[in-house]
Amino acid sequence: MLNAAAAASVAAGAPPLERRRRLSQAALVVASQKVRRAYSPIVIAGVVRLADFISLSFIGIVLYLGYVAPLSGFHWEYIGAILMMTLAAVICFQAADIYDVQIFRGQLRQMTRMISSWAFVFLLFISVSFFAKLGGEISRLWLSAFFFVGLAVLISSRLLLRWLVRYWARQGRLDRRTIVVGSDENGEMLIKTLDGQVDSDIDVLGVFDDRNDNRALDTCAGKSKLGKIDDIVEFARRTRIDLVLFALPISAETRILEMLKKLWVLPVDIRLSAHTNKLRFRPRSYSYIGKVPTLDVFEAPITDWDLVMKWMFDHFVGAIVLVLAAPVMALVALAVKLDSPGPVLFRQKRFGFNNERIDVFKFRSLYHDQADPLASKVVTKNDKRVTRVGRFIRKTSLDELPQLFNVVFKSNLSLVGPRPHAVQGKLQNQLFDEAVDGYFARHRVKPGITGWAQINGWRGEIDNEEKIQKRVEFDLYYIENWSVLFDLVILFKTPLALLTKNDNAY
């Protein structure tokens, strides 16, 4: 139902306001809190491994070049030995389990483990040198300096890392913002268990329940009930959610399946807690949140190192494409300016990642006085709103080139991904999400300039259910099968698709 503001907007002839589900006051309080972007513990640990390898290798090589090489000449064997020792150190650190964000927060445990592992590497090197009868060829001063300088750098870096991790923790960047489904005794037990764990990264925001208010607790282990299951999707649009944790028993499979049909469109991890289940599976069947066993139901797509690789791909390749396309963009801009009065660029509201509303840049293809920022009226064949130049650039998709600015500078688009549809995009009289089940699952990843659906011919005007259904199917296939190689294939096939599969582009 439209609220008063929306009704007034419609009466005035303006585009209807976007539908937003109303949330409870408790949910609005949580959603209004300032939340910073999360950092991936997996990526942090990987960066620390790489930093250890580079810094220790650098120290060993500098000491060798500064002391040993001037006296006895340069020998590649030393460089090889340094790299092998450094690699062995990183492996030993990993075996000692010090590449963990929770370990980074502490001091005594990581220091003792690190010093022991670093000493073990040198003892191993000395033993190998002794049995290989190479002891006389190795500088003892260099070896001693490498050990103590390397140890000093490791200790200093860990102290800095400890400060950084604790600073990020205070900002909430390392927390997994969690909502619990099930406001009853099971939910209370789960929350108490999570809160009782030492060094836990779980931050329980509140609970949701699918039952009537009189059948669910208003507060669960001190956490407020924020709403019903239907409210979770809207709540996740307004604030960062990393994990949805079901406290329901496996025996409630009908209820769980009904709820999963509504929640799988979210770009979050969804797990089923097994803390109250009498049925036990093999330990390897579970993933653990501390000591709480859980069953994975859905995982957020493109996370951790995959997200880093996609970000690098977008910005590196996107910058190259932008430079190469600059002359063409300049010509198109001149043609648009000469063809009709008005600005060269046009900004349109579109759906971004997790239904975030973003401004997408395009070359203006409609007459300025007939602009449609919300795309409430679909452009059709022989549409009189389209300019002469607009017909050509829409047919060839040259009007999309300014979206490279979104990729390279604003980072709210990818080169490849599901196309961002306008917020008022409709099939006949229905919004797209009303016409297709699971439509919003397309928004579990960042949208792109081109995509798997587009190179397979599903682009342009959407005038029947099959076209939007096929787009969603191809987009979901892309999300589930993403890889950098897949992005490259789509990118290279896009020019050919624009030339051969443009029948629906007007």
* Per-residue pLDDT tens digits for 251-301: 778 888 989 988 999 999 999 988 766 556 666 667 888 888 888 899 999
Q: How far apart are CA 80 and CA 330, in angstroms?
A: 52
Minimal CA–CA distance to 114: which of 59, 165, 157, 164?
A: 157
Q: Is 221 left (phi over 0), alpha (psi -120 to 50) or beta?
A: left
Instruction: Confirm if 303 and 309 have CB atoms less than 8 A apart.
Output: no
Q: How far apart are CA 276 and CA 186, in angstroms?
A: 7
Any idea where the domains of the chain sit in the sequence?
A: 41-171, 175-298, 304-500
Tokens linked to 69: 């090489």
In this prediction, residue 4 carries a pLDDT of 40
**What's at 333, amino acid-wise?**
A
How many helices and strands, by DSSP H and E, does the chain display? 18, 14
Instruction: Confirm if 395 and 379 have CB atoms less than 8 A apart.
Output: no
Give me the CATH topology for the region 175-298: Rossmann fold (3.40.50)
| CA-atom Rg of the chain in angstroms | 28
Question: For residue 441, how many other CB atoms are within 10 A of its CB?
Answer: 19
Digit-coded pLDDT (tens) for 394-413: 888 898 999 999 999 999 99
Classified as helix, coil or strand, 387 is coil
Q: How far apart are CA 223 and CA 205, in angstroms?
A: 7
**Residue ranges of the chain whose pLDDT lies below 70:** 1-20, 132-136, 213, 276-285, 372-378, 380, 426-429, 460-461, 463, 501-506
Q: How far apart are CA 307 and CA 487, in angstroms?
A: 13
